[in-house]
Chains A and B, each alone.
Chain A
């Protein structure tokens, strides 16, 4: 059985989860606490990958990250190599695809914090940023954990998007979901079955880990 696709899937999921927890937090903060013109537009834009079929998301990413697309062109000019068909390319695709899953639980957790707690922090001398780090985050661990779970699981299962922008390169972009699909097509049901079976305990182990972390950190708030 090929282990490389499984390793790639886990690597992709870990990278996406870490990146999104960091990227989504400020966005969730803005959506939870700020009021500005166009806020609902921004929120709808962020949630777009939820409403579209993954292949549509993949198609647009292919256009944007390709050599003629806005992002692809800048990247190629800066680094001399294409963005598509690389691990970084599928990582970006995975992040865009999972962004709404990261933001929603965090935003809900932030909104649940009573404003007076934040005001208390301000009066006690904390800047908005310090309040975010020292008060909001410690009191939203449950929401952050939920985000991490959703993003990890979602990334492990990413298929349609990666089919469009991945190019199925072994060791680089051929993740488990694509490898299983291709094995099935090539009538290699044994290989497909083994890979599928191995994914189950990996995902389960991750769920357990996050739940453990969640329970130990968050008490009655």
Chain B
């Protein structure tokens, strides 16, 4: 009898936060390139509406596969348009909308590697031993990097130097920790606290990364989710996005 009482008390204490939280909570799936901007946007949103944002960061492809397997997200901020459109087509999401446009860059912690005419010349520097790139199948920024490399005729030749990160954030992490010499990253990385200390070259051959978002249909907090979706394109949110190089 005593053991049962203790067990009940422990359970109550553990469940307390869930029971007492009067404030609402949204689970948002966020593509890895948007980590810092979304943290700032979420803070503004919480102050305004008292709705807490719990974000999960991963590659767009990974988040997409989780959602179609029933992961309980309320909003999905992808790094492409394809996957939100697929969700919409399959009836899993509401109509997607563009929330940002990003750019692929070649970033390095060592300023000397950026002293080149353009990214193509930089990448062929013989001093460069390893270059990081995000997984081309699951990360849109990785896929766009591959498009650029193929357009420049460099994809095959650079295979031996390439290191694949699971998402664009890991690609930046490899470059930032100097585990690799240069990395294909999102432009927003250059505006982050860590990225500011490096240098970068714009990869013009990479198409603009058009990023779309959507509200997940099975979300139980549809109203709050739509509120957040609207907030993403609000004026305050636009300011944050621009400070990170998004258009």
Point out residues on A near B: beta carbons under 8 Å.
62, 66-68, 81-82, 84-85, 163, 167-169, 174, 182, 184-187
Contacts and interface: CB of A to CB of B under 8 A. Distances in A.
Interface stretch (B41-49, B91-99, B161-169): B161-169
B174 A182 contact: no
B179 A67 contact: yes
Contacts of B65: 184-187
A199 to B, nearest CB: 21
Contact of B135 (A68, A182, A184, A187): A182
A185 B62 CA distance: 5
A66 B179 contact: yes
Nearest to B132: A167
B37 interface: no
Nearest to A189: B65
Interface residues of B, number: 22
A84 B164 contact: no
Contacts, number: 54
Given A66-B179, A82-B130, A167-B174, A186 B164 contact: no
Interface of B: 59, 61-62, 64-65, 68, 129-130, 132, 135, 137-138, 162-166, 174, 177-180
Given A186-B61, A186-B137, A68 B162 contact: no
Contacts of B166: 163, 168
Contacts of A182: 135, 137-138
B177 A68 contact: yes
A136 B120 CA distance: 61
A169 B135 CA distance: 10
Given A169-B163, A185-B65, A81 B129 contact: yes
Contacts of A85: 130, 163, 179-180
Contact of A66 (B59, B129, B178): B178
A82 B163 CA distance: 12
A113 B57 CA distance: 53
A185 B64 CA distance: 9
Contacts of B61: 185-187
A85 B64 CA distance: 28
Given A168-B166, A185-B137, 13 more contacts: A67-B179, A68-B177, A167-B164, A169-B162, A174-B164, A182-B135, A184-B65, A185-B65, A185-B135, A185-B138, A186-B137, A186-B138, A187-B64
